[in-house]
Amino acid sequence: MIEEKQRTRVSSMNIIYKKIVWFFVLASIVLVGVILYFSLAKATIYLNVKSQPAKIDFTAQIKEEVAEDNNFLETSILQGRVLELVMEKTKEFIVSPKEQMTNKYGGLMTVYNDRSTDQTLVKTTQFQSDQGNIFRTQERIVVPAKSSIEVYVLADEESEDYNDDPGKFIIIKLRPETQALIYGKTKEAMSKKSFTTYELSSEDYEKAQAELIVDLKADAMFKFKDLLLDNENLNEKTIFTEVLSEESGEELEEKVDNFEYTVQIKISAIIFDEDELLTLAQNFLNQQLDKGQKLVNYDSASFDYSISNYAEEEKNVTLDVSLSANIIKDSQSEAFDTEKFKDLSQEEIIDYFKLMPAIESVRVKFSPFWVKKAPKMSDHIEIIISNE
């Protein structure tokens, strides 16, 4: 009897031990499963983002004398030199015709001068027809002695009474004996129509000067190239001019259809290494990028510079420089902080990025296959960015 009780007690103890062992085995399996779940769980977010433009504007200096230890990336000072030429050119130009529209009657008149000296007639000189109507010249003219000249005249006022027939016209402010020597005649009836006048203006001077400067700069380019040293290059936009003198053979408001114009200028050319300037611009742009911005590429076509100041005595040139680039947000951007995506579903992650205009597309992949949400550990979440 005693032996039976002992066997029963041993059997019960065995069962308890077995249960404890199985409990620990199951617990271990569960623990291993949990560890595997969290250690293997991974989320990869693929983003295709739009690039955004970024631009940098800054100034740089070109000097003939720089320190031996000069680092242009730190000082924005580049080694260079200045070439100078003084050049002059004379050329004949055509006066710009001016088309005049009017509601008044007018027409071409031949003005005769039977005197032995030239006769100057001011603008708005009054000619009177046989009908008593007054017509005025539209520009200053000089009628050569014993000769004639054509001029356009315009009615004094808007009226249908000024449609005068061809005939003789007198200058009302001349004495009667002079009126017989200086007078006008028309071959056609007066009519309403546009007419063309030629009168030398300041705009004609400006156009002539601009054209001569272009010609002289082109001539200077060939001369400068002969002065270049080995490995030096010359860019036309580094050439600038100073007008020393200008002269015309005709006076302003003179009635002529052509004129001569002379310009003397000093032409300066700045010689420097353009590749160094581009490198400096790229360095400036890189320094301006914020955390979370990533450079895609430089817009080489946007690289530009111009001369803003020239200190002649010091041979010191200041350049205004600009460069653009394309940038994107990278994984360091606050918007891409992986802490934001812990324990989110694919749909929730996609919805989050759809609200960002810079995101063109988003794709989310969980692994292994049983993972349905992003891991609870942010370092198991990876964001891959591209702009293809």
- Could you tell me which residues come within 8 angstroms of residue 373 by beta carbon, excluding any fewer than 6 positions away? 343, 344, 345, 366
What is the token pair recorded at 43? Answer: 């989320």
pLDDT of 133-145, one tens digit each?
999 998 888 999 9
Torsion angles phi and psi, residue 130, rounded to 5: -60, -25
The H-assigned helical ranges of 72-184 are 72-75, 176-179
State residue 335's pLDDT score: 79
> Residue ranges of the chain with pLDDT lower than 50?
none
Torsion angles phi and psi, residue 266, rounded to 5: -105, 125
Beta strand pairing call for 52-63 and 77-94: parallel
State residue 2's pLDDT score: 52
What is the token pair recorded at 174? Answer: 């001349």
Coil, strand or helix at 6: helix
Torsion angles phi and psi, residue 378, rounded to 5: -65, -25
- Could you tell me which residues come within 8 angstroms of residue 156 by beta carbon, excluding any fewer than 6 positions away? 126, 133, 134, 135, 136, 162
Coil, strand or helix at 212: helix
Q: What is the DSSP secondary structure assignment for residue 191, as one 8-state letter? A: B
Question: E strand or H helix at 120, and its extent?
Answer: strand 119-121
Write b or e for each residue in 221-245: b if 16 or more Cβ atoms lie within 10 A of its Cβ, otherwise e: eeebeeeeeeeeebeeebbebeeee
Query: 137 has which bridge partners?
Result: 153
Write b or e for each residue in 182-191: b if 16 or more Cβ atoms lie within 10 A of its Cβ, otherwise e: bbbebeeebe
Torsion angles phi and psi, residue 252, rounded to 5: -60, 145
Q: What is the DSSP secondary structure assignment for residue 325, as one 8-state letter? A: E
What is the token pair recorded at 82? Answer: 């200045």
The H-assigned helical ranges of 307-375 are 346-354
Query: How many C-beta neighbours within 10 Å does residue 192 have?
Result: 16
State residue 127's pLDDT score: 97
Cα–Cα distance list, 44 to 40, 132, 220 (Å): 13, 99, 62
Q: Give the number of residues written for the chain.
A: 388
Torsion angles phi and psi, residue 35, rounded to 5: -60, -45
Beta strand pairing call for 42-49 and 381-386: parallel
What is the token pair recorded at 63? Answer: 């000097």
State residue 209's pLDDT score: 94
CA-to-CA distance for 207 and 211, rounded, in angstroms?
6
State residue 113's pLDDT score: 97
Cα–Cα distance list, 232 to 63, 272, 350 (Å): 15, 7, 55
Cis peptide leading into 368, omega within 30 of 0?
A: yes
Residue at 118: amino acid letter: D
End-to-end CA distance of the chain: 87
Question: E strand or H helix at 207, and its extent?
Answer: helix 202-225
Closest CA to 126 of 158, 91, 151: 151
What is the token pair recorded at 50? Answer: 């739009």
This prediction's pTM: 0.57
